[in-house]
């Protein structure tokens, strides 16, 4: 226990002390903010980032089956973003950031949109899905399509299995379920195959794979994001949301994809009026846990064996210890170290 706590505290202190230090770009676990900082200070290019993720996919995907296909146009998009940056004309909150889309989200490009089924292989869609169009307007590079439970689990299959993609595997414990149906999105972002991904949910398909792959998923309110161009299950429940490594990344992506879409007018028209002026990133606060209490439901792990229960209690104690240490750091000291 003490060892785990010391490791966790060391990680927190390293983040605080090293956040502003000048180093070459660290690709692994890179956040959207770190990527944008790398672009602005010249330590990173979109081309280098796309090549890194393509290499990760090439090395890890034969084992994890998180990506159904990569976009042959991804490097060209990255080079275009780099050229715009050099000219000073780059715009968009995700300019040059690679994104993987779940394979039930349509893209009007060289990629297939099949929901994991061989039946749709080779079909051509009329237009980008609403969320895909918004990502392009935000400057994102469409890296490829993430695997999923075929037909988003509308066809009963093993979680994360599709005829096109095979069986997606949890990158932390290969024998554990990656959960579905946005399994590929969760696995890919956890294994550093993309900066951010999109998933879809009808009933647990963002939240479950996010939980099982230790990433952050946001299931938006119905209609907050457009479902146009997404292979449907039911308009009463379908929604599209980000799956990322951090809360901050997920919120940045959410800001890029929310809003009215004439192709999904009824739902997005009703929900878009609730989007806060200035977007959601304004609510990201580095000292947001200060003064907060985290509730843990009694009996949440009831019915699990003693090994799992002990592991749960151990990690809960570690989290309590780390949060206590983190929020006890004065924000003045935190700010000072960030500017070193």
Catalytic, out of 46, 205, 210, 226: 205
Residue 126 annotated as catalytic: no
Whole-number pLDDT of residue 18: 46
DSSP 160-215: TEETTTEE---SS-TTS---SSSHHHHHHHHTTS-SEEEEEESSSTTHHHHHHTT-
Whole-number pLDDT of residue 3: 55
Whole-number pLDDT of residue 326: 67
Whole-number pLDDT of residue 340: 41
User: Do strands 141-146 and 98-102 pair parallel, antiparallel, or not at all (unpaired)?
Assistant: parallel
Whole-number pLDDT of residue 23: 59
Catalytic, out of 46, 102, 149, 185: 102
Residue stretches of the chain with pLDDT short of 50: 9, 12-14, 16-22, 330, 334, 337-340
Whole-number pLDDT of residue 230: 98
Residue 205 annotated as catalytic: yes
What are the sequence ranges of the domains in the chain?
32-283, 293-338
Q: What is the DSSP letter of 242?
A: E
Whole-number pLDDT of residue 292: 80
Catalytic, out of 147, 149, 162, 181: 181
pLDDT, the chain, mean: 90
**0.75 cut: is pTM over it?**
yes
32-283 belongs to CATH 3.90.1300.10? yes
pLDDT tens-digit map of 226-277: 999 999 999 999 999 999 999 999 999 999 999 999 999 999 999 999 999 9
pLDDT tens-digit map of 25-69: 999 999 999 999 999 999 999 999 999 999 999 999 999 999 999
The C-alpha atoms of residue 237 and residue 112 are separated, in whole angstroms, by 25
3-state class of 218 per DSSP?
coil
Residue 79 annotated as catalytic: no
């Amino acid at each position: 226990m003490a060892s785990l706590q010391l490791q966790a505290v060391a990680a927190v202190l390293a983040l605080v002390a090293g956040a502003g230090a000048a180093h070459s770009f660290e690709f692994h676990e890179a956040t959207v903010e770190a990527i944008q900082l790398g672009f602005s200070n010249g330590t990173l290019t979109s081309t280098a980032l796309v090549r890194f993720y393509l290499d990760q996919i090439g090395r890890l995907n034969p084992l994890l089956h998180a990506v159904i296909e990569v976009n042959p146009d991804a490097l060209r998009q990255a080079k275009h973003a780099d050229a715009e940056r050099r000219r000073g004309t780059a715009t968009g909150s995700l300019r040059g950031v690679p994104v993987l889309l779940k394979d039930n989200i349509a893209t009007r490009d060289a990629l297939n949109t099949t929901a994991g089924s061989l039946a749709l292989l080779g079909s051509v869609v009329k237009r980008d899905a609403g969320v895909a169009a918004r990502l392009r307007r935000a400057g994102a590079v469409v890296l490829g399509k993430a695997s999923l439970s075929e037909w988003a689990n509308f066809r009963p299959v093993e979680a994360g299995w599709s005829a096109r993609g095979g069986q997606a595997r949890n990158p932390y414990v290969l024998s554990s379920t990656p959960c579905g149906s946005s399994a590929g999105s969760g696995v890919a972002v956890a294994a550093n195959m993309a900066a951010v991904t999109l998933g879809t949910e009808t009933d647990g398909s963002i939240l479950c794979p996010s939980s099982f792959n230790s990433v952050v998923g946001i299931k938006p309110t119905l209609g907050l994001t457009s479902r146009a161009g997404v292979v449907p299950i039911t308009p009463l429940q379908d929604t599209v949301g980000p799956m990322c490594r951090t809360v901050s990344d997920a919120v940045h992506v959410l800001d890029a994809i929310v809003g009215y879409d004439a192709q999904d007018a009824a739902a997005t028209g009703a929900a878009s009026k609730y989007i806060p002026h200035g977007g959601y990133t304004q609510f990201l606060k580095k000292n947001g846990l200060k003064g907060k209490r985290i509730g843990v439901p009694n009996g949440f792990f009831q019915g699990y064996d003693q090994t799992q229960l002990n592991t749960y209690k151990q990690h809960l104690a570690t989290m309590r210890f780390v949060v206590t240490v983190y929020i006890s750091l004065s924000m003045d000291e935190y700010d000072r170290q960030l500017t070193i």
